Amino acid sequence: MSGLERSQHSALLGQPFAVDRIADLSADQPEAEGIDAGSELSHGRRLQILTIAWNVGEVLVTVTLGLMSGSLALVAFGLDSLIEVFTSTVVLWHMEPNEEAHSLRRDRRAERLVAVAFALLSASLMVASTRALVVSTEPDSSSLGIVYLAATAAVMLGLAHLKRRTGMRLGNPVFLSEAKMTQIDAYLAMGILLALVLNGLWGWWWADPLAAGGIAIVAASEAFSGFRGRD
């Protein structure tokens, strides 16, 4: 891939609804020299399996710690991790070879499943965070939650980088879309980490439901982008 092509791909990643535009651009470009498609597919599958394994543990840890401390933000992050497990599973399904493996219909079906999951997550978190603010639910601090979220942010940033690189090499829009979600997962971990620190140090209990509400807004944006991109 030439320097100009890499620049075009990098610019597209930062723009709204970039996945569809990346797909169009990739379709018109020849396969990069020196790239073994079979090897990249295997590498991509390993990344998705690693993501699923980490997020399954993430669900168990964060939801448990959230229920113990009364932290809606930790529980919300665990639910978001469930969505990440679901989307990684969808990507693995999408990567399986069959007669319509590269068809537009298959791409749309995979992305629609991800968008629906985001929409459901957004609706449930918005209701829960609003209720917590109205009734002034004050969570306890969670030192273990802080440590785990810091580790999660680092792992998710690393996975997002590797997925983005693999998705670009494969020219796979669904893989690139899921890489973006992994990056969002890292940013959400950082945001909730900050909320837990604020609550632990200064008793700013409202930072916790606000962080959960932030996840709801991000999830709604991703759902909207997914459906809009398929019009």
**Which of 147, 118, 127, 145 shows the shortest CA–CA distance to 219?**
118
- Report the run of H or E that residue 145 belongs to, with start and end: helix 143-170
pTM of the model: 0.71
Q: What is the pLDDT of residue 103?
A: 62
Q: What is the pLDDT of residue 5?
A: 47
Q: What is the pLDDT of residue 15?
A: 42
CATH architecture of 32-228: Up-down Bundle (1.20)
Domain locations along the chain? 32-228
Rounded to 5 degrees, φ, ψ at 93 are: -60, -45
Burial of 116 (0-12, 13-18, 19+ CB in 10 A): middle
Sequence-separated (6 or more) residues with CB below 8 Å from residue 204? 195, 198
Q: What is the pLDDT of residue 46?
A: 93
Tokens describing residue 73: 């933000």
**Mean pLDDT per 10-residue segment, the chain (231 residues):** 46 42 37 64 91 94 90 84 86 72 68 82 84 79 89 95 91 82 86 86 85 84 77 46
